[in-house]
Structure 1
Amino acid sequence: MMESRKPMAAPPAPPLPPIPTHLKNSQLKLLNGDSGSSPISSSFSNGIHKRTLTTITSASEKFNVSGSTTEEFRTLKLNGHVGFDSLPHQLVRKCTERGFQFNLMCVGETGMGKTTLIESLFNMKLEFHPCNNELKTVELLSRTYDVVEGGIRLKLTIVETAGFGDQLDKDKSAQVIVDFINEQFEKYLKEELKIKRCLDYYDDTRIHACLYFISPTGHGLKALDVVTLQRLAERVNVIPVIAKADTTCKDELIRFKSKILSELRSHNIPIYQFPTDDETVRAINTELNQLVPYAVVGSTDFVKKENGKMVRARRYPWGMVEVENEEHCDFVKLREAVLRTNVDALRERTHRVLYEAYRRERLRAMKFGDGDTGPKMMEAFAQKQREFIDEMANRDTVFRDEFATRVKKKEEEMKRREELLNLRAKKISENFEEELRRIESQMHTLLEEKAKYELKTAGKKAKK
C-alpha cells in the first residue's frame, strides 16, 4: 500500500504539464482514463496527480536554485526537454503496479441488510453467512478480497458486526467495535516504531470508512445509535445510512432524515463530511453532503422491466423498487460518494487525522515527548513494553492467587458438605439398625406367641 505523506500547504494545483513524447501509448491511456477504467480508478489517478503536482509546485516556490529561502526568486528557463515533468506519471505507474487498499466496516443491527448492500455496491457475492440473534456478544467478521477494475487492483476488506444490538446488555456493544478499530491502529503504530520497518508493503488493516445502518423506524435515533456513533466518530469516518428505505414513504423519509440530523447536532456527533476544498470535486461533494444520511435499498436480484432492460431491484405486490434509480433511493449517490469520488480522501483522513490523534494519545501515554527520537524513543518504548509485561505478570499472579483461594474455599465447602452427609448417613444407618432390631424383636415375640398358641391348640385336640 502506498505510504501516506505529511500534508504540505500549497496553492491550487496548476494544469498538468504536457505529456512527454517518450511515454508509451499504454501509459498515456492509463493516465487519461481511456483504458476502460472505472470512475474509481480515475479518482485514484486524479488524486495522485493533484497531490504530486501540488508538492512539486510547493517545493519550487519555497526554494530557489541556490537553496536560499526568499520571497522573490528567479525562474530558470530550460533550453531543452529535461524529463522531470514525467514524475507524476511515474508515481501513477508505481502506485498502479502496487495496488490500493480500502477497508470498509458495516455497523448495524441484525436484519438491516448490511451484506446485501455491500454486495450491491461492489457487484459481487460475499461469503458472510446470516447471523442469528443468539450471540452473547458482538462479533467482528472480516473478509478480504482482491478485485480488479480497469487495470486497477484493489485489496478490499469488509468488516461486519454480527450480533450488534441483539443483547439485553447493550453497553458493551460499542466498546467491542471501538476496541477492534484501536487494535488496527495499534498494529500500524507498532510497525511504525520498528527499527527496520517496511510500511510500503505493510498490510494496512485500519478502517477507512464505516457505514452505520439506522433502522427505518421514523422515530429518530435509538439510545444505542447515539452512544455508538459518539464512540465511533472519534476513531473512524462515519457515514450514516437509513437501511431498507423502501419501507417508508418519501415524505416520512424526508422528515426522518431531518430528525436524524437534528439529533446528531444536539448530541455533537461529527459525522464525516466529504471534502469541498478541492475545486474538481467541490460541487459534487457539496451535493453529496446534503443527502446525508443516505436512504438506501440493496438487492442481489435482477428484474426484467417492461422495455426488456434488466435492472437491480426488489419486487413487491404493489410494484418494483429499483436500486440504481435515484428517484427511488440514494444508492447511486452513496456509491458515487464512497467509491467513485472520495476513496482517497477517506484513506487520507484516516491516516492524517484519525490515526495521528490515536498516535499522539499512545505516545503521550508512553511518556514520549515531542523531541524524543531515535534511541531515546526506542528506550521509552522498551520501558513501556517491560512495564506492560510486568503488569500482565502481576495480573496473572493475582488471577492465580484468586483462583487458588476460590478453589480452596470450594474444597472447604465440599469438605463440610461431605462431613454433613457422613453424619446424616451415620444417623440414617443407626436408625435403620435400631428399626431392624425392633422388627426382629417383634418377630421373635410373634413367633413365641405362635408357638404357644400351636402348643395350646394341640393340647386341646389331645384331650378330645
Structure 2
Amino acid sequence: MSFQIRQNEEKRTIELNGHVGFDSLPDQLVSKSVAQGFSFNILCVGETGVGKSTLMNTLFNTTFENEEASHYGNKVHLHPQTYELQESNVNLKLTIVHTVGFGDQINREESFKPILEYIDTQFEKYLEEELKIKRSLFSCHDTRIHACLYFIAPSGHSLKSLDLVTMKKLDSKVNIIPVIAKADTVNRSELDKLKIKIMSELVSNGVQIYQFPTEDEAVAEINSSMNTHLPFAVVGSVENVKVGNKLVKARLYPWGSVQVENENHCDFVKLREMLVRVNMEDLREQTHARHYELYRRCKLEEMGFKDTDPDSKSFSLQETYEAKRKEFLTDLQRKEEEMRQMFVNKVKEAEAELKEKEKELHERFEQLKRMHQEEKKTLEEKRRNLEEEMNAFNRRKVAAETLMGQATTFKELIFLVRAQDCISPFGLYSAHENVGWTWNLTL
C-alpha cells in the first residue's frame, strides 16, 4: 500500500494533553555526541617556513610534538599526525596534515597533485566503509579534511601563480580558509591593500573559498562581519611575554612586541573564533554534505548508479540494480562468446600448425627413406663386388698353392741328385757342375 502526501497540504500542530518526553531529544543527542567524541581534520598548505606549525600550536594553546620531516625531496609529501585533546567533558580527535616540501621544487606545476590524491584517498576510505554491508560509520575514524588553512606568504603584492592554481584545484574538494602568514612583517596599510588584492584575484579566477554561513540567525551577524575580513592576517607564537601585569602570547622585537590575541595587531582571534568556536560543526557538515557528496556521486556514476534515466525520469535503486545486472550479464555473455570464438580460432590455428608440421615430417621421412634405399643399393653393389673379388682371390690362391706343390716336388728331386753326386767314381764336383752332369748323365 502506497500513499503520497500532497506538498501543498498544511501541516497541523497538535497539542498534547500531557508531558510525553521527546523534548529530551536534544539532551540525548548531546549526551551521545559527547560520549562518542568528535573528530576534526585540518590541512595546512603553504610554503616552507611560513609558520604553519607555530600557528597550530597557538590555535589550540598547546605544543604538538611534530616528527622531523625532510624538505629536500623532489616532490610534496603529506604528513598527517593525530592528537587526542580534551576540554572540559569534550574529547576531540584532532588530525593536522602538513604539506612537507610544498613550493620547494624548481618545477611546481604538479605540486598540488599529492594534496588532491590525499584528499581523494580519505573520501575513498569513507565511501568504502559506507558501502559495506556491516557498516560502523560512528565508530570509525573519519579522516576526511574538514578545513584547509591556506597560508599565503606576505612577500609580494599579490598571489603567486602556484597559490592560484592550487586553490582552484582544491576548492571543490575542501573548505578553503586563506590566511596571510607572518602578518607582523607587513605594515597595516600594505596589509589592507594585500587583502583587497588577494580577494580580487580569487574572485576573478573563480576560486571558491569557504564563506562563514549566515543562515543561522544566532551567528549570522558575526559570520557576515567576519566574511569581510578574509583573508585573515595572522601571527603565531607560543612564548608568554609580560605586558603590563599580564602574561600574553606575543613576539618580541627590538622596536616592541606583537601580541597574538590583540585584534589591533593581527586577526588571530578572528580566525580562532570562526574556525573553532563558531563554525567547526558547520565545517564538518559542509565537508560531508557538499564535498564528500560530490565525490560520492561521481564515483557512483562511474559505477553506473544514477538517480535518473536518460529521459530524466527518476527510478529506484532496485531498478538501477536490475538494469546494471542486465547490462553486466549482457556484457558477460558477449565476453564469453568472444572467449569461445577466440578459443576456436586458437584450436584451428593449432590444428593447422600441427598439420603443417605433420606434412613436413612426412616429407622428411620420405626423403630419409629414399636416402636409405639408395645407400642400401650402394652397399649391396659393393658387397657383390667384394664377393667377386674374394672369389677371384680364392682362385688365384688355389693356383698358387698348386704351383707351390709342384715346386716342392722339384726341390726334392734336386736333393736326391745332390746326394748321388757324393758317390760318383769321377770324384767330387761342384754343385752346379754336378747338377749339369747329373742331368747330362740322366739324359
2:294 alignment counterpart: 357
C-alpha separation in 1, matches of 2:29 and 2:219: 22
Q: 1:92 aligns with which of 27, 30, 44?
A: 30
C-alpha separation in 2, matches of 1:130 and 1:220: 31
Shift of 1:379: 10
Q: 2:170 aligns with which of 207, 232, 235?
A: 232
2:206 alignment counterpart: 268
2:16 alignment counterpart: 78
Shift of 1:196: 1.4
TM-score between the two structures when normalised by the length of structure 2: 0.68
Letter paired with 1:82: V
Shift of 1:329: 0.2
Letter paired with 1:325: N
RMSD: 2.3
Query: Per-residue CA shift, 1:310-341, capped at 9, x if unaligned?
Result: 10000011110000100000000000000000
* Aligned: 1:258 with 2:202: no
2:222 alignment counterpart: 284
C-alpha separation in 2, matches of 1:327 and 1:73: 51
Shift of 1:168: 1.2
Shift of 1:131: 4.4
Letter paired with 2:230: V
Query: Per-residue CA shift, 1:258-306, capped at 9, x if unaligned?
Result: 110111011110111000011000011011111100000001111112x
1:189 alignment counterpart: 127
**Change beyond 3 A, Cα 1:101–1:310:** same
C-alpha separation in 2, matches of 1:69 and 1:227: 45
1:115 alignment counterpart: 53
Query: Per-residue CA shift, 1:109-146, capped at 9, x if unaligned?
Result: 00010000000000111122454541211111111111
**Change beyond 3 A, Cα 1:263–1:145:** same
Q: Could you say what secondary structure the match of 2:138 adopts? A: helix
C-alpha separation in 1, matches of 2:164 and 2:13: 56
Task: Tell me, yes or no, if the aligned pair for 1:321 and 1:328 is still in contact at 8 Å.
Answer: yes
C-alpha separation in 1, matches of 2:298 and 2:8: 37
C-alpha separation in 1, matches of 2:301 and 2:242: 60
Task: Tell me, yes or no, if the aligned pair for 2:306 and 2:320 is still in contact at 8 Å.
Answer: no
1:320 alignment counterpart: 257
Task: Tell me, yes or no, if the aligned pair for 1:146 and 1:156 is still in contact at 8 Å.
Answer: yes
Q: 2:268 aligns with which of 331, 342, 354?
A: 331
1:367 alignment counterpart: 304
**Change beyond 3 A, Cα 1:87–1:225:** same
**Change beyond 3 A, Cα 1:77–1:169:** same
Shift of 1:348: 0.5
Q: 1:246 aligns with which of 179, 184, 189?
A: 184
Where relative contact order (Cα < 8 A, 6+ residues apart) is larger, the structure is: 1
**Change beyond 3 A, Cα 1:80–1:295:** same
Unpaired runs of 5+ residues, structure 1, are 1-66, 388-464
Query: Per-residue CA shift, 1:22-71, capped at 9, x if unaligned?
Result: xxxxxxxxxxxxxxxxxxxxxxxxxxxxxxxxxxxxxxxxxxxxx98772
Unpaired runs of 5+ residues, structure 2, are 308-314, 333-443
1:439 alignment counterpart: none
Letter paired with 1:161: T
**Change beyond 3 A, Cα 1:377–1:250:** farther
C-alpha separation in 2, matches of 1:68 and 1:378: 30
Q: Could you say what secondary structure the match of 1:112 adopts? A: coil
1:310 alignment counterpart: 247
**Change beyond 3 A, Cα 1:329–1:280:** same
**Change beyond 3 A, Cα 1:241–1:374:** same
Letter paired with 2:41: N
Shift of 1:229: 0.5
Query: Per-residue CA shift, 1:214-235, capped at 9, x if unaligned?
Result: 0001321001001100011110
**Change beyond 3 A, Cα 1:71–1:319:** same
Q: Which piece of structure 1 moves more, 191-200 or 244-253?
A: 191-200
**Change beyond 3 A, Cα 1:237–1:75:** closer
**Change beyond 3 A, Cα 1:286–1:214:** same
Q: Could you say what secondary structure the match of 1:141 adopts? A: strand
TM-score between the two structures when normalised by the length of structure 1: 0.65
Q: Could you say what secondary structure the match of 1:207 adopts? A: coil
Query: Per-residue CA shift, 1:184-236, capped at 9, x if unaligned?
Result: 01111111111111111121110000000000013210010011000111100
Q: Which piece of structure 1 moves more, 133-142 or 97-106?
A: 133-142
* Aligned: 1:135 with 2:73: yes
Letter paired with 2:50: M
Q: Could you say what secondary structure the match of 1:199 adopts? A: coil
Q: Could you say what secondary structure the match of 2:217 adopts? A: coil
Q: Could you say what secondary structure the match of 1:173 adopts? A: coil
1:172 alignment counterpart: 110
Larger Rg: 2
Counting only pairs closer than 5 Å after superposition, residues 415-454 of structure 1 correspond to structure 2 as: none
Shift of 1:244: 0.3
Alignment length (residue pairs): 318
Task: Tell me, yes or no, if the aligned pair for 1:218 and 1:252 is still in contact at 8 Å.
Answer: no
Task: Tell me, yes or no, if the aligned pair for 2:146 and 2:287 is still in contact at 8 Å.
Answer: yes
C-alpha separation in 2, matches of 1:121 and 1:356: 29
1:395 alignment counterpart: none
